[in-house]
């Protein structure tokens, strides 16, 4: 048996035969003469792709797909493709137009959009050349999916009954592929270059971040474990909550630790009305009355731009900063949440993303309370907020640590870049130090980043004093079971030992060695 190392992106172990992702459509070496309406065909191809992505977004509730559909429907891109198609066939024109767009993004803060552009290009070119659309294979049996990378449009429609595990050559631990894999409970390893061939049997360990060739074990899948409240072996309670992006069906969960509301704001030319938002929030809150639901206000900007607000880069106008120029967006959203709460009898908590100072936290809390929302919190995603967490906590009712962005800003490393994945590893000692510093603050503190779904990190966070963990619903059973196998004292001992590590690998290895059960 040989072992290939990548980046663990979604926990679980699975063994099965490889099936590689469908090939990209390739342009013939010589372009044929242009037809009579190549500009029109170029526009039609992009319109078709945008419509298909919108359809998938509606079917899956994915705000990521909605954002990609906006790119495919960008009139600037369509105009450029049509202009080029005046001199060459539409497929070549679309390929060149997207190539120009792609080159403009390379190295910038939107570099993570390159995979999305590649996907748009492939779909448009396949449509124009009447070739099969790129997508997951269908070998007729369960398989391990191997790909250079996965576009969100394809990752979102994977069938967990057929896809045993995912291995990609590119991507990081918080990439779209990682997020979707966790959401549907598929083990995944990303950033793992390989030369696997169809039918080759491999074993994927998504927690360890390794792929083993010629494994001796029979095919395995990690199944669902018990449900119920989170607690350690000696009864110490840790809320285990779900992270959702819309009215997802939830069974056997204590509540929702992060309700992302971006799905209402993306892919539109104007903001949703208060009434539109009220109806959408009511649909989420109604089945969860009596359970905790934490609603995050609009977190657009960076890789989730909206045209009606001056959103910017990761270091610019995003999250709560949108309210500087558009305070009406925040007020309308809070009013809609309050009305939905009144409709259903729910008592949602609300929290603001990208809080940097106590003054920002105080202003948000005051605005929330003006609308009758009595429990207001702040997200800790910036080193400044982590370092002054005590001051911020004095202005709000709770804190929620977003580990994805906190790692990104602490290490000045784009969390979507595979080449920098080692820097945003959630086991980075400096990141754990920031979390430990926040955990000392005497208020309710939760974690809602991707790191919460790692069973070993859940033990570390519990040992540090974290009160709640929010993750994809599919990750809850294994985290719950792991937590129940350890006492609070063991979690504290493990957290202390991990914090003495000097590298992520040493920290992870220490946790594995000390964990029991």
Which residue numbers are catalytic? 176, 448
Q: Give the whole-angstrom CA distance, residue 503 versus residue 425.
A: 10
Please report, for residues 122, 126, 195, the alpha-carbon distance to residue 67 in angstroms, rounded to integers and kept in the order given: 17, 21, 32
Tokens of 177: 């592929």
Please report, for residues 176, 177, 358, 401, the alpha-carbon distance to residue 63 in angstroms, rounded to integers and kept in the order given: 11, 14, 30, 22
Q: Which helix (H) or strand (E) holds 343?
A: helix 327-344
Cα 293 off chain centre by: 19
Closest to 211 in 3D by CA, of 6, 455, 11, 422: 6
Tokens of 134: 């790129």
Residue 30's CB is within 10 A of a number of other CB atoms, namely 5
Closest to 336 in 3D by CA, of 262, 281, 394, 405: 281
Tokens of 125: 């070119």
**Rg of the chain (C-alpha set):** 23
Query: Is residue 305 a contact partner of residue 364, using CB atoms and an 8 Å limit?
Result: no
Cα 420 off chain centre by: 17
Please report, for residues 173, 269, 450, the alpha-carbon distance to residue 428 in angstroms, rounded to integers and kept in the order given: 13, 40, 14
DSSP 8-state assignment for residue 475: G
Adjacent-strand bridge partners of 296: 260, 351
Closest to 216 in 3D by CA, of 201, 196, 198, 206: 201
Q: Give the whole-angstrom CA distance, residue 452 versus residue 445.
A: 13
């Amino acid at each position: 048996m040989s072992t290939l190392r990548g980046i663990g992106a979604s926990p679980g172990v699975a063994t099965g035969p490889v099936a590689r992702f469908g090939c990209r459509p390739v342009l013939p070496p010589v372009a044929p003469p242009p037809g009579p309406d190549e500009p029109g065909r170029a526009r039609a191809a992009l319109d078709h792709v945008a419509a298909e992505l919108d359809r998938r977004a509606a079917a899956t509730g994915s705000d990521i797909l909605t954002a990609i559909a906006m790119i495919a429907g960008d009139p600037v891109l369509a105009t450029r493709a049509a202009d080029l198609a005046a001199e060459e066939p539409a497929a070549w024109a679309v390929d060149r137009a997207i190539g120009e767009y792609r080159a403009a993004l390379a190295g910038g803060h939107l570099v993570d959009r390159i995979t999305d552009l590649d996907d748009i290009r492939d779909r448009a070119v396949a449509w124009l050349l009447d070739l099969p659309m790129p997508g997951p294979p269908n070998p007729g049996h369960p398989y391990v999916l191997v790909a250079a990378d996965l576009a969100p449009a394809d990752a979102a429609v994977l069938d967990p009954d057929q896809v045993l595990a995912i291995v990609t050559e590119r991507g990081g631990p918080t990439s779209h592929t990682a997020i979707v894999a966790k959401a549907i409970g598929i083990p995944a390893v990303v950033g793992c270059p390989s030369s696997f061939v169809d039918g080759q049997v491999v074993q994927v360990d998504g927690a360890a971040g390794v792929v083993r060739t010629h494994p001796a074990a029979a095919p395995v899948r990690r199944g669902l474990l018990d449900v119920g409240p989170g607690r350690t072996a000696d009864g110490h309670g840790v809320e285990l909550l779900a992270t959702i992006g819309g009215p997802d069906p939830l069974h056997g969960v204590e509540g929702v630790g992060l309700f992302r509301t971006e799905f209402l704001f993306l892919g539109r030319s104007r903001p949703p009305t208060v009434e539109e938002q009220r109806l959408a929030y009511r649909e989420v809150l109604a089945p969860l009355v009596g359970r905790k639901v934490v609603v995050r206000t609009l977190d657009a900007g960076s890789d989730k731009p909206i045209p009606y607000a001056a959103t910017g880069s990761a270091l610019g106008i995003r999250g709560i900063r949108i309210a500087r120029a558009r305070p009406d967006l925040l007020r309308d959203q809070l009013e809609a949440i309050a009305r939905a709460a009144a409709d259903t009898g729910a008592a949602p908590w609300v929290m603001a993303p990208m809080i940097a100072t106590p003054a920002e936290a105080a202003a948000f809390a005051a605005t929330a309370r003006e609308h009758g929302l009595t429990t207001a919190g702040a997200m800790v995603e910036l080193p400044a907020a982590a370092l002054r967490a005590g001051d911020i906590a004095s202005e709000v009712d709770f804190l929620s640590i977003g580990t994805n962005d906190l790692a990104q800003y602490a290490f000045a490393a784009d969390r979507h870049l595979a080449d920098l994945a080692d820097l945003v590893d959630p086991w980075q000692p400096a990141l754990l130090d920031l979390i430990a510093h926040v955990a000392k603050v005497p208020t309710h503190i939760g974690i809602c980043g991707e790191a919460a779904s790692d069973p070993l990190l859940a033990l570390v966070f519990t040992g540090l004093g974290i009160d709640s963990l929010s993750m994809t619903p599919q990750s809850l059973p294994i985290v719950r079971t792991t937590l129940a196998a350890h006492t609070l004292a063991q979690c504290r001992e493990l957290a202390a030992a991990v914090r003495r590590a000097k590298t992520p690998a040493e920290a992870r290895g220490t946790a594995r060695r000390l964990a029991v059960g």
